[in-house]
Amino acid sequence: MSDRIVLSEMVFRGTHGVLPSERSEGQAFSVDVELHLSLRQAGISDDLTKTVDYRDVFDICRTIVEGPSHFLLEALAEAIAGELLARFEIEEVAVRIRKPEVALPGPLGYAGVEIHRCR
User: What is the SS3 assignment for 14?
Assistant: strand
Q: Which residues pair with 94 in a beta bridge?
A: 34, 116
- Residue 112 main-chain phi, psi, to 5 deg: -160, 170
Active site residue: 86, 99, 106, 113, which one? 99
Catalytic residue check, 99 = yes
Task: Please identify every residue annotated as catalytic.
Answer: 99
